[in-house]
A and B are shown apart, each in its own frame.
Chain A
Amino acid sequence: MISPLAFDIAHLFAGSLVLVSFMLLYQDRMTGLINTFASHALVVSFSVAWQAYIQQAPHLYITAGIALVIKAIVIPLALHRIVVRLGIHRTIEPVVGIGLTMLAGIGLIALSIMVMLPITAQAGTLAREDLSFALSVILLGLLMMISRRNAVSQVIGFLSIENGLILAATGAKGMPLVVEISVAFSILVALIVIGIFLFRIRERFETVDIHLLHEHRGEQP
């Protein structure tokens, strides 16, 4: 059984992750968005490291390290470079208004708590709260992906979903290493793919605004 303090700290990190997810929703500048994402990754790496400590599962430190180095440092730096090189510091154009997005976000968090808490009663308090937080982060990431048109914001939305998954995977105590490695690995691969795409998109359009791509949708009736 873990001590109340350890539990509270784990709780604090998981809750902060949801909070930062919310902050991602209302960023209207590209640099602000990337910095907020960096703190999102930072919180997740702290959270994983804390789980590693209280579960006495040293392999989780690797996951925490990967999240810290790749997602909190390398990816934000790369995205900053892309943003500067493409000259897209300007404001992000949302599909739906910020206020509406925030309301939808609150609804999603309520939904995930209502869905997860009752059914995971036997899973242990920490795991079940982690899971409902993780589901909130995933749903907020999805919301971000659909409420923004910009390629960079969609990528960040996707990466925040991955952070939510890491939170869920580490919350499920004793989950074999294969999943942690896979998550980290997939992030790397995803990054390569994303990199290729961003560069290709730039070659073609001199912009990363996805709605311009829609004009090239394959089939025009």
Chain B
Amino acid sequence: MSWLLGPGELVLAALLAIPALGAVVLALIADDRKAAWLNAFISFLTFGCGLALLIERPATGPFLIVDDLNAVFVIIGTLVAFTTSVFSASYIAHELETGHLTHAHLRFYHAMYQVLMFGMNLALLSNNIGLMWVAVELATLTTVVMVGIYRTPAALEAAWKYFLLGSVGIALALFGTILVYLAARAVVGEGLDAMAWNVLVANASGFDAAILNLAFVFLLLGYGTKVGLVPLHAWLPDAHAEGPTPISAVLSGLLLNVALFAVLRFKSIMSANPAALAPGPLMVTLGLASVVFAAFMLYRRQDIKRLFAYSSIEHMGLITFAFGMGGTLANFAGLLHMALHSLTKSAIFFCVGHIAQVKGTQRMPDIRGLTVSHPTLGWSLGLGVIAIAGLPPMGLFMTEFLIITSTFARAPALAIILGASLLVGLGALLLRLNGLAFGDPDGRSDPSKASFLPIGLHLALVLVAGIWLPPALVAWFQYVAALLS
């Protein structure tokens, strides 16, 4: 290998180096406003590198890989990370004014934000399944400390619960990873090759099926904990509700996807071995359980961030279900649903963050009449909830429709359960939206200094996706979907 890097390798290196260096720089900068905007700028650069993956692909190495699947995840991830950092700048300014966060905390927060981006990019780009595990663990640990950053008793409880459940999940995933190595070693031989994902998929047909089966159970439970699949979801609502809202947006929009991506990587190894257990039914079961459970749990929520956290469980369940069903159409719908869910849910959390700031509370009974008191914020939330509930003309309607119809063709009973649960969830969300957005405003009501650029951008993308998808995008996603099935 030559020391001169090609353009593809440079892009790959930049995707990892920019957040890593950014974290160091941000840890050293004392001025909060500068740090907040530098954070956004660094995230923007990373997003630029993500887009560059469309043009230049590096060659696959033993540690890193860029293929069509992870390019989708990286681009969505870096986009949401960038818009979240813009939102974070306006959110954090308010937290400083009200004294919720000190300057020292803020420096830590910004550095951790970039460490998190580094961890997520590394997890998505890694070819080595051990490296992927390390990266997911890094991302988990950074979010744990960020969730606990307010240091209120509730935040500590949430972070502790997240830490314990997250570590147990990650421990199970490592055991599964070791088992995969063991299965591969007999065929590929010792060393790095036996952990390289592309080698594993190519040789999976010769692996011992029994070891692979056991490994997949551990991996699904381990990474599934991080996806927030029922019954392993207990950490998710607390972590979303008690941390800073930008972190809730990143958790829902990015970290859950990264964990799901890990599951998908291992699913393709399983699928490549004809003797191994079909991974689909397991994923369908966990996914469907999550959708049903979360749909009913939505009704009893009192806290606005918890409401949308449960909605994330519902949607991650739906995506897992779609990938579990498999087939080009369901995979296509699942992939698109994942992208649109990331955009929509983070837009909703941006709105929710500002709402919680202007109203001084997260309790939904205390928030009323937002469309009257803060029209832009109220209507943006309304639009976001309509999108996440799966109503036309937003993009999520189309993907949910695709998932249900493709399921109907193969397993009508499951499609009925799924459709009914989605309707139940829709009812809960509209009920809550009615209380939040309409009626007479009461309680505290500060003027909002929100930045609507990220919210508007996300919702516009989701709306456009619902009306017209660019043929190039459709072709790309179809290609990836065909790869997965």
Contacts and interface: CB of A to CB of B under 8 A. Distances in A.
Given A162-B171, A193-B145, A179 B130 contact: yes
A219 B306 CA distance: 9
| Size range of the chain B interface in the assembly | 35 or more
A115 interface: yes
Contacts of B433: none
A140 interface: no
B186 A189 contact: no
Interface residues of A, number: 51
Contact of B156 (A119, A165, A179, A204): A204
A219 B174 contact: no
B164 A158 contact: yes
B156 A197 contact: yes
Interface stretch (B3-11, B92-100, B206-214, B411-419): B206-214
Contacts of B154: 216-218
A219 B242 CA distance: 10
Interface string B229-246: 000000001100110000
B178 A173 contact: no
B166 to A, nearest CB: 10
A182 B158 CA distance: 26
Given A174-B185, A176-B130, A197-B156, A145 B168 contact: yes
A161 interface: yes
Interface string B128-148: 101101100110010011001
Interface stretch (B14-22, B190-198, B424-432): B190-198
Contacts of A190: 141, 167
B178 A196 contact: no
Contacts of A100: none
Interface stretch (A8-16, A77-85, A120-128): A120-128
Interface in A116-140: 116, 118-120, 122-123, 127, 131, 134-135, 138
A44 interface: no
B168 A193 contact: no
Contacts of A176: 128, 130, 191-192, 194-195
A186 interface: yes
B302 interface: yes
B366 interface: no
Contacts of A172: 178, 181-182, 185
Contact of B133 (A134, A182, A221): A182
B294 to A, nearest CB: 15
B181 A175 contact: yes
A67 to B, nearest CB: 15
Contact of A193 (B144, B152, B177, B194): B144
A217 B157 contact: yes
Contacts of A33: none
B153 interface: yes
Q: Which has the most chain A C-beta neighbours within 10 Å: B153, B192, B241, B306?
A: B153
B410 interface: no
B130 A197 contact: no
Given A172-B181, A186-B134, A189-B141, A204 B153 contact: yes
B153 A205 contact: yes
B237 to A, nearest CB: 8
B374 interface: no
A161 B177 CA distance: 15
Nearest to A189: B141
B214 A115 contact: yes
A189 to B, nearest CB: 5
B456 to A, nearest CB: 30
A178 B260 CA distance: 23
A205 B241 CA distance: 21
A182 B129 CA distance: 12
B157 A213 contact: yes
Interface string A167-190: 011001111101100110110011
Nearest to B242: A218
B141 A193 contact: yes
B175 interface: yes
Given A172-B185, A178-B128, A123 B168 contact: no
A218 B214 CA distance: 36
Q: Most chain-A CB neighbours within 10 Å: which of B152, B158, B167, B179?
A: B167
A221 B164 contact: no
A214 interface: yes
Given A176-B130, A193-B144, A219 B303 contact: yes
A47 B131 CA distance: 24
A200 B186 contact: no
B156 A174 contact: no
A20 interface: no
A187 to B, nearest CB: 11
A36 interface: no
Given A182-B133, A200-B156, A165 B171 contact: yes
A115 B221 CA distance: 16
Contacts of B82: none
Given A197-B160, A204-B153, A178 B175 contact: no
Interface of B: 128, 130-131, 133-134, 137-138, 141, 144-145, 148, 151-154, 156-160, 163-164, 167-168, 171-172, 174-175, 177-179, 181-182, 185-186, 190-192, 194-195, 208, 210-211, 213-214, 237-238, 241-242, 300-303, 306
30 contacts: A116-B214, A119-B210, A127-B182, A131-B178, A131-B179, A138-B172, A138-B175, A142-B168, A154-B164, A158-B164, A168-B178, A174-B191, A175-B130, A175-B181, A175-B190, A176-B191, A178-B195, A189-B137, A190-B167, A196-B148, A197-B163, A200-B156, A201-B156, A204-B153, A213-B156, A216-B153, A217-B157, A218-B238, A218-B241, A219-B306
Q: Which 5 A-B pairs have the closest CB atoms?
A: A174-B190, A216-B153, A119-B210, A182-B134, A179-B130
